[in-house]
């Protein structure tokens, strides 16, 4: 049985999540899988989260890791990874605003029976709506994330449920898995890790290199995790968050798009989109700050681009879509691509 280490990154979870933090830890420790441990990686909380968890959950499978400050998702998880038992074969990074089913890990580990698979994601269900929240996603030719989700589109949700019930497949191939819960082979993460420049799109900085190197990223529908979207991130300062997210979206195109034609098209398109988004959110500072940081650090970024494992120009996971396509069409486009790359027919 493969040894699994689960890293749950926390920041002020006791204050922000309340009872959900208890349910999260309890569900992890009650997982029906023999060979696992949980690292509660506290990202410099000021609410006593780590002391609370240590006092209330006496379990040999649980370790508490206290970090000096809030390092964010990428750096926090990368630091926690350094504390993983050398015998570990699979590492799971999971948000603290989740509750797992008992069999989730057993089913998720089965996804790694194919040696080509280095990243796997469970079926993420929305606590609020009861719908399928995330089944990973793809990117379009402008570098936009195209998420497969039925949370806000009932038709897409019904089709996804139909596929899961009627086809009874064990796994689905996607370009990237969603970071709320992502399982990775330890030996692969050792080589790549999360790109620490990014705030948002962190999971894609892991999954794009996997695809570039010929490995697979999958979703395992029989592994079920319930997620309360945005339970902690919504408490971060909105305008600062928008600035960093804008920069990450521009960085993604510059670093991870390989084809020169797609790079130029994607960068121009991305700049137009980000400017329009900044106007819509009444935060043009986010756009100009991101553009300034991009230009100021261009030499460093281009150096990172040369070293990066990039998205192949002939990738079957790239979606063609109009630059100004409406957001509600993205889920349908991503669903169509999901059916295409997995050689499935739609079930209506």
User: What is the average per-residue pLDDT within 190-205?
Assistant: 92
Q: Is residue 245 part of a domain?
A: yes
pLDDT score for 20: 95
Mean pLDDT of the chain: 91
Mean pLDDT confidence for 321-340: 82
In a domain, 256, yes or no: yes
What is the mean pLDDT of the segment spanning 307-316? 92
Residue 201 has pLDDT above 80, yes or no: yes
- Residue in 198, 233, 225, 216 with CA at minimum distance from that of residue 93: 225
In a domain, 316, yes or no: yes
Can you give 34-92 as a three-state secondary structure string?
CCEEEEEEEECCCCCHHHHHHHHCCCCCEEEEEECCCCHHHHHHHHHHCCCCCCCCEEE
Ranges 24-33, 154-163, 223-232: which has the least confidence: 223-232
Residue 267 sits in which domain range? 235-328
Alpha helices for the chain (secondary structure H)? 13-17, 19-29, 49-56, 72-81, 104-110, 154-167, 186-191, 204-212, 238-256, 260-280, 284-296, 298-307, 328-341
Would the pLDDT of 346 be above 70?
no
Q: What mean pLDDT comes out for the span 69-82?
A: 95
Question: The tokens of 275 are what?
Answer: 């400017």
Q: 34 lies in a domain?
A: no
Instruction: Please give the tally of structural domains in the chain.
Output: 1
Token duo for residue 224: 């079920």
- The answer to whether residue 78 is domain-embedded is no
**Quick one: pLDDT at residue 348?**
46
Which of 9-18, 61-70, 83-92, 231-240 is least confident? 231-240
Tokens at 280, concatenated = 């819509």
Quick check: is 206 in a domain?
no
On the question of pLDDT at 87 being above 60, the answer is: yes
Q: Who's near 115: CB < 8 A, 6+ residues apart? A: none
Q: What is the pLDDT of residue 326?
A: 66
- Whose tokens are 């209330």? That residue is 56
pLDDT score of 345:
67
pLDDT grade for 230, boundaries at 50, 70 and 90: low
Decide if 35 is inside a domain.
no
* DSSP summary character for residue 113: G
Q: Kindly state the average pLDDT of the residues 26-39.
A: 97
* Residue 306 neighbours by CB under 8 Å, 6+ apart: none
Looking at the predicted structure, is the pLDDT value of residue 236 above 70?
Answer: no
Give the pTM: 0.93
User: pLDDT digits over 135-177, tens only?
Assistant: 999 999 888 889 999 988 889 999 999 888 877 767 999 999 9
The pLDDT value given to residue 105: 98
pLDDT given at position 222:
94
pLDDT digits 0-9 by tens, 248-275: 999 999 999 998 888 999 999 999 999 9
DSSP states of 163-192: HHHHH--S-EEESB--TTEEEEEHHHHHHS
Would the pLDDT of 133 be above 80? yes
**pLDDT surpasses 80 at 324:** no
């Amino acid at each position: 049985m493969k040894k699994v280490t689960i890293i749950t990154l926390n920041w002020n979870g006791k204050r922000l999540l309340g009872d959900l933090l208890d349910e999260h830890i309890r569900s992890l420790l009650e997982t029906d899988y023999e060979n696992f441990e949980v690292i509660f990686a506290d990202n410099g909380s000021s609410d006593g989260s780590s002391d609370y968890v240590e006092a209330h959950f006496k379990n040999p499978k649980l370790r508490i890791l206290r970090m000096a400050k809030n390092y964010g998702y990428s750096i926090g998880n990368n630091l926690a990874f350094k504390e993983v038992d050398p015998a570990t074969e699979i590492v799971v990074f999971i948000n603290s605003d989740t509750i797992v089913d008992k069999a989730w890990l057993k089913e998720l580990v089965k996804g790694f029976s194919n040696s080509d698979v280095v990243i796997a994601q469970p079926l993420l269900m929305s606590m609020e709506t009861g719908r399928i929240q995330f089944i990973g996603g793809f990117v379009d030719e402008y570098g936009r994330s195209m998420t497969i989700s039925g949370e806000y589109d009932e038709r897409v949700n019904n089709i996804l449920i139909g596929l899961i019930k009627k086809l009874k497949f064990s796994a689905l191939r996607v370009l990237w898995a969603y970071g709320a819960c992502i399982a990775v082979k330890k030996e692969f993460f050792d080589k790549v890790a999360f790109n620490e420049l990014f705030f948002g799109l962190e999971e894609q900085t892991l999954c794009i290199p996997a695809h570039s190197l010929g490995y697979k990223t999958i979703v395992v529908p029989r592994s079920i995790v319930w997620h309360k979207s945005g339970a902690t991130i919504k408490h971060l300062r909105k305008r600062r968050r928008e600035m960093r997210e804008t920069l990450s979206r521009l960085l993604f195109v510059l670093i991870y798009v390989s084809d020169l034609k797609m790079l130029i098209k994607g960068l121009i398109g991305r700049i137009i989109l980000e400017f329009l988004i900044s106007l819509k959110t009444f935060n043009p500072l986010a756009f100009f700050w991101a553009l300034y940081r991009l230009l100021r650090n261009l030499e460093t970024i281009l150096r990172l681009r040369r070293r990066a494992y990039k998205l192949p120009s002939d990738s079957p996971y790239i979606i063609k879509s109009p630059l100004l396509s409406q957001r509600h069409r993205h889920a349908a486009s991503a669903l169509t691509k999901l059916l295409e790359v997995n050689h499935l027919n739609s079930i209506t």
